[in-house]
Amino acid sequence: MSQNSRVSRVCGLNNQGIVDYSQAWDYQRSLVKARVNNPSLNDVLILVEHPPVYTLGTGSSLDFLNFDPQAGEFEVHRIERGGEVTYHCPGQLVGYPILNLRYYQQDLHWYLRQLETVIINTVANYGLSAYRVPNLTGVWVEGKKIAAIGIKVKRWITMHGFAINVCPDLSGFKQIVPCGIADKPVGSLQEFVLDLTVERVRVDVAQAFASVFKLKLVEENILN
């Protein structure tokens, strides 16, 4: 479906607290499978936090781990998204959009730029000027990467997504080369806005997501 003939879409907003990575991963895959079988199903945006966990993209190099994955303190998962290794932990808001890109644009670069726009627009609410770095995926503020993006698309149904460092313990990033980028430090929004909370960012990122993708969000809280 071309963008010009696009209809207004309903998107379920699934807000969760701290959820084990494997549980959220299984849930995403179940949603994608359902939409591959029935493309008319509504889109979904899952917003969660995770206990400490490292994830590697399909082709990620183990050289970017500064520890033995068989003997590390936290879980390590190799998953089907693109990109290199990243770290999730409480205080980081993770967004998993399950969108049918046939209703938007069947263009992965377009989709990545849209996700970056969602984050840039969210951060603008806090008086911060976030930006892209040429030839890289993600969002930066004052030289620090505050959001990472990694996606998987199957038959134009998206999964995985973005992670925004709101107020996490950043020490876990010292165990990896985040996203394979050695020369650009990772930061958090709380470094710039001291009282910022994940709950505040949840609200703002959902609003920005609805605006950028021209969606109607409907609250739902089912994760199984």
Looking at residue 5, its pLDDT comes to 46
102 closest CA partner among 153, 157, 154: 157
Q: What is the pLDDT of residue 60?
A: 84
Mean pLDDT for 15-26 is 96
The answer to whether the pTM exceeds 0.85 is yes
Q: Give the domain range for residue 51.
A: 3-220
* Dist CA 53 CA 35 (whole Å): 27
CA atoms of 136 and 141, how far apart (whole Å):
14
Q: Say which range, 32-41, 51-60, 163-172, has the weakest mean pLDDT.
A: 51-60
Query: What CATH number is given to the structural domain containing 72?
Result: 3.30.930.10
Query: Taking 50 as the threshold, does the pLDDT of residue 11 lie above it?
Result: yes
The pLDDT mean for the chain works out to 92
Question: Cα–Cα distance between 30 and 28 in angstroms, integer?
Answer: 5
Which tens digits make up the pLDDT trace of 111-161?
999 999 999 999 999 999 999 999 999 999 999 999 999 999 999 999 999
What value does the mean pLDDT take over residues 81-99?
94
Q: What is the pLDDT, as a whole number, of residue 223? A: 64
Q: Which residues of 168-178 are buried (b: 16+ CB within 10 A; e: fewer)?
A: bebebbebbbb
Q: Is 179 a catalytic residue?
A: yes
| pLDDT level of residue 3 (50, 70, 90 thresholds) | very low
In this structure, which amino acid lies at residue 99?
Answer: L
| Domains of the chain: total | 1
Q: Is the pLDDT of residue 1 over 50?
A: no
Say if residue 63 is exposed, middle or buried (CB neighbours under 10 Å; 0-12, 13-18, 19+): exposed
pLDDT tens readout for residues 179-209? 776 677 899 999 999 999 999 999 999 999 9
Looking at mean pLDDT, say which of 1-10, 73-82, 162-171 comes out highest: 162-171
